[in-house]
Structure 1
Amino acid sequence: MSYVTANQPDGTPTWVDLGIPDLERAMEFYGALFGWEFRVGPAAAGHYTTCLLSGRPVAAIVPNPDPEATTFWWSVYFATADCDRTTQRVTDAGGTVVEGPVDVMEQGRMALVRDPAGAQFGLWQGRRHIGAEIVNEPGSLVRNDLVTPAPGVARAFYPAVFDFTLDGNDDLPDLDFTFLRRPDGHEIGGILGSPDAPASGWVTTFEVADTDVAVDRARAAGGSAGEVDEMVYGRLATITDPFGAEFSVIARAAGPVDGTGR
């Protein structure tokens, strides 16, 4: 297992969560898909429910507080050693603050922000909660990529906030895709320019042992899935949960294909 035991370097995708209208239904679906177990938080914490893999936190789901919400998505949080400082860098680079920075009890400090292209993401300064404790393994987070109709704006913003470097991708010459790398050279994700994208958003990808099996499980549990795509990095599919939240799953090809930081 790829265990994480300390806060990740700045800019690393460290946590994902999902607001949904039916907590019990969500636990049924994601438990059947990934084999997750769940630790339901108290009502005072909005029933924030931690998803566990081998007893360790890998993600969270929570009832959406907006009864009229019709759109749901997995939110990604990037690690930061100083949430207030990184939030200031967001605004300095042309982004906006949606919420925070604010302390989350003794767990950490967080903010929700939006980049100039319109994509929302979170910042997480871990204290007692460091983020996902298993990554790059079946049933856990493996990567996040930004899909946007305004890639130029995004490619200027994220290096300004996190000191990322940009790197082209010769493996996918037909796509407008740029890798994002931490200052130490580790790939944390990428930016996909897509003129047809209706909006900018971060796509969450979970690793699975077998993409075809995961697709069958998702459909049997009440979700839907697109066709499996064989690509240079592995077998990829887009899955939609019973509430309409989309995410990807991949069974990675053998070889040194980067996942999220560790």
Structure 2
Amino acid sequence: MSPFPDGAPCWADAMFPDVSAAREFYGQVLGWTFDDLGEEYGHYTMALVDGKPVAAVMPVMPGPDAPALWNLYLATSDAAAVTGRVAGLGGTVAMGPEDVGGFGVTSSLRDPAGTAFSLWQPSAHPGFGLTEAPGAYVWAEVCTRDAAAADRFFPELFGYEVGVVEDPGTDFRVWSVEGRPVLGRMALAEDVPPEVPSHVSVYFAVPDCDAAVETAVRLGGQVHHSPVTTPFGRFAAVRDQQGAAFSVIDTSTTEGDMPSMT
């Protein structure tokens, strides 16, 4: 049984052309140490904070060149049942359900707008061993070019409770499970470059957002959204030196009132 409720983010990993470079980058930006599971598991490498698993990095799969990117896993107690409902809701199944060496069962899915995400039904690997601490996962958002499609698909698939943020300048919703917010939905603005697809943005906590961004840039990363302070924390969106996008947030540095939600 998962320690995370169905529909809640429970794990994140990323594929890289150069895993050694990724380890160097995230080790300095997020303070991770690493545990390579070895050739038997395709050199899937756990990222650790205080010895607890917070994410993983791995080599890209053989075949056509694939971009480096982060992937978010949503918890489920029945991967087969959830996967079986995806097509009927307008989504697609890229892979699965598939047992991963006794660690758990996964499926790779896309919503109707093409947003990629995965399911995780745990066995030996329950998911995040630490959250909401420096270097660990803290939040994620579905950033979509088709908000209406996302709003139909995800709440129907996982039974989310939906909260609408009352901000005339932003189309943002919060999806909750048993009254606890677990995932955000952001409609991509019209000025976002057309080559940016619908995607999931993963946030990792840092003690100092500006310092994390400076380190990322020094190591060859790029800033997509410069640091800004919000009621939720001071955050920035960046890309690592191999092009994988993620966000960093210092939740202890806040400004302004929390937005109203209906």
SS in 2 for 1:227: strand
| Structure 2 CA distance for aligned equivalents of residues 69 and 249 of structure 1 | 27
SS in 1 for 2:226: coil
Aligned partners of 2:2 and 2:75 also within 8 Å:
no
The offset of 1:55, in angstroms, is 0.3
| Structure 2 CA distance for aligned equivalents of residues 80 and 6 of structure 1 | 7
The offset of 1:20, in angstroms, is 0.3
The answer to whether residue 173 in structure 2 is matched with residue 178 in structure 1 is yes
In structure 2, the partner of 1:84 is 80
Letter in 1 for 2:220: G
The answer to whether residue 194 in structure 2 is matched with residue 194 in structure 1 is no
Compute the TM-score of the two structures, normalised by the length of structure 2.
0.91
SS in 2 for 1:24: helix
| Structure 2 CA distance for aligned equivalents of residues 173 and 127 of structure 1 | 44
Alignment size in residue pairs: 251
Letter in 2 for 1:53: V
The offset of 1:223, in angstroms, is 1.6
1:186-220 deviations in Å (ceiling 9; x for gaps): 10111111243532111111111110111112122
Which one is further off, 90-99 or 49-58? 90-99
In structure 2, the partner of 1:250 is 249
The answer to whether residue 115 in structure 2 is matched with residue 119 in structure 1 is yes
In structure 1, the partner of 2:213 is 215
| Structure 2 CA distance for aligned equivalents of residues 190 and 136 of structure 1 | 16
Letter in 2 for 1:236: F
The offset of 1:233, in angstroms, is 1.3
Letter in 2 for 1:252: T
In structure 2, the partner of 1:233 is 232
Letter in 1 for 2:210: D
1:35-81 deviations in Å (ceiling 9; x for gaps): 11100121131111000110011000001024642522100000001
Question: How big is the alpha-carbon RMSD for the aligned residues of Structure 1 and Structure 2?
Answer: 1.9
Compute the TM-score of the two structures, normalised by the length of structure 1.
0.91
| Structure 1 CA distance for aligned equivalents of residues 170 and 67 of structure 2 | 27
From 120, 123, 129, the equivalent of 2:125 is 129
The change in CA–CA distance for 1:46 and 1:207 in structure 2 (over 3 A counts) is: same
| Structure 1 CA distance for aligned equivalents of residues 168 and 206 of structure 2 | 26
In structure 2, the partner of 1:260 is none
| Structure 1 CA distance for aligned equivalents of residues 62 and 237 of structure 2 | 26
Letter in 1 for 2:238: I
Which structure has the higher relative contact order (CA within 8 Å, separation 6+)? Answer: 1
Aligned partners of 1:89 and 1:160 also within 8 Å:
no
| Gap runs ≥5 in structure 2 | none
Q: Percent identity?
A: 35
Aligned partners of 2:2 and 2:121 also within 8 Å:
no
In structure 2, the partner of 1:96 is 92
| Gap runs ≥5 in structure 1 | 258-262
| Structure 2 CA distance for aligned equivalents of residues 94 and 236 of structure 1 | 33
Aligned partners of 2:144 and 2:199 also within 8 Å:
yes
| Structure 2 CA distance for aligned equivalents of residues 109 and 60 of structure 1 | 16
